[in-house]
Amino acid sequence: MAEKKTSKVMQERDMQKVSSVQKIEKIIVQTALYLFLGIIAIIVLFPFYWMLISSVKSLTEYNLPVPTLFPKQMIFRNYIDAFSTANLGTLFTNTVYVGVVSTLLSLVITVLSAFAFARLEFKGKNALFGALLATMMIPGELFTITNYSTVNDFGWMNTYTVLIVPFLVSVFYIYLLKQNFMQIPNELYLAAKVDGTSDLKYLWKVMIPLSLPTLISITILKMMGAWNSYVWPNLVANDDAHLLITNGLRGADFTVDDMVNYPVQMAAVAIVSFPLFLVFVFLRKYIMKGVSRSGIKG
């Protein structure tokens, strides 16, 4: 009997030792993980920190042989100079106009196309959808020459039309929304048809409200794409009246006494980046929610 008690005590001690070792290993792993994530976060965030502190430095301090990690004197007037030098008011207006119009038209095309592929039955539907998906394998740069030749023949150069129309259709957005529509039970659609509900009414009253997170994600991504667009606007709209933020900011003259005023340039970049920062902070959950909902079958 005493031997059994001794054996039981030894087993309990061994289990406690194993449990302690496992706890220590878990703490070490978590510490290493957080340390790694912290280092990566510093690497990622440092360029943004450098942009912000540089935007409030004087040109003399910026050109010091040994860079300062915090400005000796903050000059917030750099932001006022940046706004006027880069003509950011016009650039913001042009970019917002192109972004809003292209996003609204793209949403209409995406919703109607996704609904057709998800609910309507017509010959060649699967083959057509497969062909659309196949175009995603083609790099977008390959379409640049043909698109440029086409819009030039149409006489759209240096107009808002050339900035909006060529990129209204996105196969990725159609696929994303179609997958979300497929999660809605088909019985709802059949019941609506029995009640005499039209396809457009069913789409507006049922499918769009149920797919709102994905639609919000598409809206945000489309607006961000329009905001960051550079190559295409630089090719087809170089006049001052149609410049967008990206190519307009690059063409701005920040020189002072034959020297580039980098603090003012950094201030202009910070102003342009601020709206996207707000989008990320306040709307990131909608992006993740919309993408995750579209990736779940059932």
Domain ranges of the chain: 2-55, 77-294
Residue 105 has pLDDT above 90, yes or no: yes
Mean pLDDT of 152-176: 90
Mean pLDDT of 228-257: 83
Residue 281 has pLDDT above 90, yes or no: no
Environment class of residue 102 by beta-carbon count within 10 Å: exposed (0-12), middle (13-18) or buried (19+)?
buried
pLDDT of residue 70: 87
- Flag the least confident range among 16-25, 151-160, 286-295: 286-295
Residue 298 has pLDDT above 50, yes or no: no
- The number of beta carbons lying within 10 Å of the beta carbon of residue 270 is 19
Do the Cβ atoms of 211 and 177 come closer than 8 Å? yes
Residue 178 has pLDDT above 60, yes or no: yes
pLDDT of residue 23: 82
Mean pLDDT of 186-197: 83
Structure letter (DSSP) for residue 206? I
Rounded Cα gap, residues 121 and 115, in angstroms: 11
**What pairs with residue 125 in β-bridges?**
none
Mean pLDDT of 153-171: 90
- Flag the least confident range among 3-17, 86-100, 115-129, 240-254: 3-17
Mean pLDDT of 136-146: 83
Residue keyed to tokens 């003509």: 87
pLDDT of residue 98: 92
pLDDT of residue 164: 92
Mean model confidence pLDDT for the chain: 84
- Token duo for residue 217: 């994600």
Do the Cβ atoms of 87 and 268 come closer than 8 Å? no
CATH architecture entry for 77-294: Orthogonal Bundle (1.10)
Three-class DSSP category at 70: coil
Residue 75 has pLDDT above 80, yes or no: yes
Residue 160 has pLDDT above 50, yes or no: yes
Q: How confident is the model at residue 115 (pLDDT cuts 50, 70, 90)?
A: very high
Give pLDDT tens digits for 35-63: 999 999 999 999 999 999 999 998 888 88
- Kindly report the pTM of this predicted structure: 0.78
Residue 3 has pLDDT above 60, yes or no: no
- The number of beta carbons lying within 10 Å of the beta carbon of residue 272 is 21
pLDDT of residue 291: 59
Residue 228 has pLDDT above 50, yes or no: yes
Residue 85 has pLDDT above 50, yes or no: yes
Residue 104 has pLDDT above 90, yes or no: yes
- Integer distance in angstroms from the first to the last C-alpha of the chain? 59
| Helix, strand and coil in the chain, % to nearest 5 | 75, 0, 20
Do the Cβ atoms of 170 and 110 come closer than 8 Å? yes
What phi and psi, each to the nearest 5 degrees, are found at residue 255?
-80, 140
Residue 293 has pLDDT above 70, yes or no: no
